[in-house]
Amino acid sequence: MQRIKTQHRSIGALSVIATLGAMVSTSAMAAANGGNGYVELVEDVSPAVVFVEVTASVQLAGAEASPMDDPRFEEFMKRFGGEIPQQGRSTPQQGVGSGFIISDDGLIVTNHHVIDGAAQVTIKMADGEEYDATIIGSDPLTDIALLDIEGDDFPTVSFGSSDELRVGEEVIAVGSPFGLGGTVTSGIISAKSRNINAGPFDDYIQTDAAINRGNSGGPLFNMDGEVVGVNTAIYSPDGGSVGIGFSVPADLVTNIVADLKDDGEIERSWLGVQIKPVSEDVAHVLGLKAGEGVMVEDVVADSPAEAAGIENGDVILRFAGQDIVELRDLTRGVANEASGSVAEIEVFRGGEQFALEVTLETREDKEA
């Protein structure tokens, strides 16, 4: 069965992610880069792209779940010279990924799933130097993590605007697929704002750049050498690249990185509603256009929504000036607003459209 794969979930496998893919118009590429393809661009950005090696200590499964009790397992290990693990022993597990340096004092962006559960993180530079990294913080919901290494005058890359990307635009990625550091491939932007059902903030850039194990956390560059995405997932029936890869857009990453840099944690706002799509039939009955707004199924007691006067059955049409078409539009819009800020919500109720003001609060774990 075909499935989305990342590095650690079933939308992903252990350390999956990004490197690049598909050959595009060679003549256009050469013309845009002085006849040398991507040579100068790659030379500029490659020193700031790093190999992320992770060591985690994982407790082996208990007797009930362990395949090691099967005599065939022991026979297999003996035959091929493998060491037979002991029940209950903690064994080191290795994982690999990619990342990129965003400040000359050693701040590094990678994927959350690359460093999740890490006991030790080692950064290997393009010139062969190695550094122990500290995890400043990470965000599972957007799959972004921020690391730090000691030193100064590191090579860096900067973020560009993912909102300004156009479908068909050329991009390149640099990373370490299967541990092969410094690998460069090229592709185009295949689509924007993809929802791959990985989480509430799905808004992925789709690219035909080939993404493979070990590229997770690596940068997707535009032709100006700016990071426009962080390579995170692939669609694959067998674990290999089929030319459908996904990157977290830079405009989202910059907000997450700034929040993590502040105190190592992500603070998101909370509205306090349960919502569902507005079906075509319901939209017709209400006199709305199909695909317009989301319907409030329930309002949480003592929530910002309740205080603002939002009611069950309301259709939320706009939030903070943005049209609401899909469920994720409202989820992402609320999360992007600062806790304590006042936002305007346009709702449809009883045949009338009007605006309410809501004062957002911090989203706690129990509400998440």
Active site residues: 113, 143, 216
Measured between alpha carbons, how far is 212 from 231 in angstroms, rounded to an integer? 10
Report DSSP letters for 213-246, one per residue: ET-TT-EEE-TTS-EEEEEEEEEESSSS--S-EE
Measured between alpha carbons, how far is 339 from 65 in angstroms, rounded to an integer? 44
Q: Are 229 and 217 in contact (CB under 8 A)?
A: no
Q: Are 95 and 56 in contact (CB under 8 A)?
A: yes
Distance in angstroms between the alpha carbons of the first and the last residue of the chain = 31
Measured between alpha carbons, how far is 249 from 231 in angstroms, rounded to an integer? 9
- Phi and psi at 331, nearest 5°, equal -60, -50
Measured between alpha carbons, how far is 116 from 180 in angstroms, rounded to an integer? 21
Helix (H, G, I), strand (E, B) or coil at 307: helix
- Beta strands (DSSP E) in 125-202 are 130-139, 144-148, 170-175, 183-194
Measured between alpha carbons, how far is 6 from 85 in angstroms, rounded to an integer? 28
Measured between alpha carbons, how far is 18 from 97 in angstroms, rounded to an integer? 9
Q: Are 247 and 192 in contact (CB under 8 A)?
A: no
Closest CA to 150 of 133, 135, 136, 126: 133
Q: Which residue has 């779940």 as its token pair? A: 65
Measured between alpha carbons, how far is 90 from 101 in angstroms, rounded to an integer? 32
Closest CA to 232 of 11, 2, 51, 22: 11
Helix (H, G, I), strand (E, B) or coil at 41: helix
